[in-house]
Structure 1
């Protein structure tokens, strides 16, 4: 009988899944017509995302991140929440010559502590919140000039245009993640989170 665990010739190395603990350091939301978020104590979530948030919805319209569709094409909304880490934002702030970058300035919804290299978590990673919510990670949140201009304005940079251009250059793979609600409920600031990373491999065919 063949061994089902036997490694096939040419098969990629498969790294096992793992899990570790994290903590919600802050939760934020924005009204339906605003990019900048503000801190709240809890985030009520449905299958559409954060109740009343600008990015809520089962679907969304495509933009510059989806060049394979005509702009404005209706598509599934995999960007219901924006998730960032304090250590990564500190790196970006230093690269921009700023004392800090606040999560609110870049439209973040969740600030997670205790996740090594948050932005490098692979697609399919699951975030299990102690209160019952589950968020599934879609992928990295590509930095854009809108967030850069918001930073420049809030930080009091003299040249807002320069700030909007600088942010995408220095924050690549440090901008955090986007995800969607797999199991709704309420997320609270200070809540514990179980981060479960799936098996990983590099596909080369």
Structure 2
């Protein structure tokens, strides 16, 4: 094996198997960003039925500057997953008593995973009742979610609140994921998480 191969092998982090739990399930009306608590999430290959982010495809936006805005593309952002621990950190940084999952459009509140937002792309979440979700990427805090926080928390300046969330919520906003195996998710359900091998790629 050449030197580059040796360096890569030494830098590989082995795959992991972790356990987690669903603390809450939420869905958004088809015409609104914020979510609300529901009894269960009914998932198809296009995401949550009638949800704001449902669809096999979606329109590109500011996160995809390599496409003209509005380009139809694969919807890898069907669900948003957040952690109670990370929401508590953001709330503390913003001097708020709490930030609710619903305010920022989350679909799943998941506990038991340290640093949930750092789960790498390709991680698989196997839910006890049969659903499998695949992690696409870390979700970045945006002003839309920040404004929703400011409004719900009754902050005096909504514009400042929106900007503050974008700053304080960095790398704590959770994950986006898509449905690999459809089914039904309920609160209290156990999750097995498989984290793939990881390494830093440097050309």
1:8 matches 2:5: yes
Distance in 2 separating the partners of 1:163 and 1:64: 20
- Partner residue, 2:188: 190
Map 1:13-28 → 2, pairs under 5 A: 13-28=11-26
RMSD, aligned CA = 1.3
Structure 2 gap segments, 5+ residues each: none
Map 1:160-179 → 2, pairs under 5 A: 160-179=158-177
Question: Contact conserved, 2:8 with 2:199, CA < 8 A, in 1?
Answer: no
Aligned residue for 2:176, secondary structure, equals strand
Distance in 2 separating the partners of 1:100 and 1:11: 42
Structure 1 gap segments, 5+ residues each: none
Distance in 2 separating the partners of 1:57 and 1:129: 21
Distance in 1 separating the partners of 2:199 and 2:156: 45
- Partner residue, 1:96: 94
Distance in 2 separating the partners of 1:41 and 1:32: 17
Distance in 1 separating the partners of 2:149 and 2:202: 39
Aligned residue for 1:203, secondary structure, equals coil
1:135 to 117, 133, 136: 133
Deviation at 1:101, TM superposition (A): 0.1
1:29 matches 2:13: no
Aligned residues: 201
Q: TM-score, normalised by structure 1?
A: 0.96
Deviation at 1:41, TM superposition (A): 1.5
Q: TM-score, normalised by structure 2?
A: 0.97
- Partner residue, 2:113: 115
- Poorly superposed stretches of 4+, deviation over 3 Å: none
Distance in 2 separating the partners of 1:17 and 1:60: 31
- Partner residue, 2:151: 153
